[in-house]
Amino acid sequence: MKRILITGASGGVATLIRPLLRADYRLRLSDRLPVPDPVDGEEVVEADLGDLPALRKAVAGVDGIVHLGGYSVEADWETIQAANIVGCNNLFEAARLERVKRIIFASSNHAVGFYPRSQTIGIDAPVRPDTRYGLSKAFGEALAALHAYKYGAEVLSIRIGNVGEKPLDRRRLAIWLSPRDLVQLIGIGLEHPDIRHEIVFGMSDNDRAWWDNSNALRLGYKPQDRSEDFAEAVLAADDGKSGDDRVDLNQGGGFCIAEKM
């Protein structure tokens, strides 16, 4: 079995997908925080994204990387810069130095959050980040392109919507991604023979989607879960009206007004 490194392994997304990934891969788990409940066959290597030598040790000898690490909501610039700009660059540099080519980069819908919900966009739409956090994900996608075309990396950037067992509100009916569909996308990024630098949207089979995910389908993605199965209950509980058009009309929702100086 191939060994893959998961950064940000103490986070919620990693916790959801680790049991599914263990069926096909040996997992090396890395975070600056303690990783909860490692099981037999999971190797834990603590590393801060700001520490390049520690990251090199975490990366050494793996067949691929799933980069979930970093700061996952809006914050002041210093926090975002350290975790998502410097930290992401360190991760890609560690992979280059240790000759690990396959990288799955957890990008975000917030790289394009200021597109209106009335517009369907594809991966070729210019970035419109809704936060410093979203800006950092756009940076990560550009960094992936640099490493792909200059250094020979093979990177799949997944613009993740929202990962969970079910969509929790009206907005997430459009962007929901089930854990097993995320694992399928990760598998494509790790195994597809023709990856150089690809961007896909991380969503399940969502009837209300705002994104054209044809690039993921071209790569063989066949989502197994549907947000519409939960729609009746979600719509009964949430009218989708916050009173602020920036939240209600833009794809990024509340991130479009998030501000932390």
Q: Quick check: is 25 catalytic?
A: no
Count of residues in the chain: 261
Can you name the residues that pair with 163 across neighbouring β-strands? 177
Given a contact cutoff of 8 angstroms between Cβ atoms, the answer to whether 45 and 58 are in contact is yes
- What span, in angstroms and rounded, lies between the C-alpha atoms of 214 and 198? 12
Three-state SS at 236: helix
Cα–Cα distances (Å) from 3 to 21, 43, 63, 90, in that order, read 11, 10, 6, 20
Q: Which of 71, 133, 149, 151 is catalytic?
A: 133
- What span, in angstroms and rounded, lies between the C-alpha atoms of 161 and 185? 13
- What span, in angstroms and rounded, lies between the C-alpha atoms of 194 and 207? 29
Residues serving a catalytic function are 133
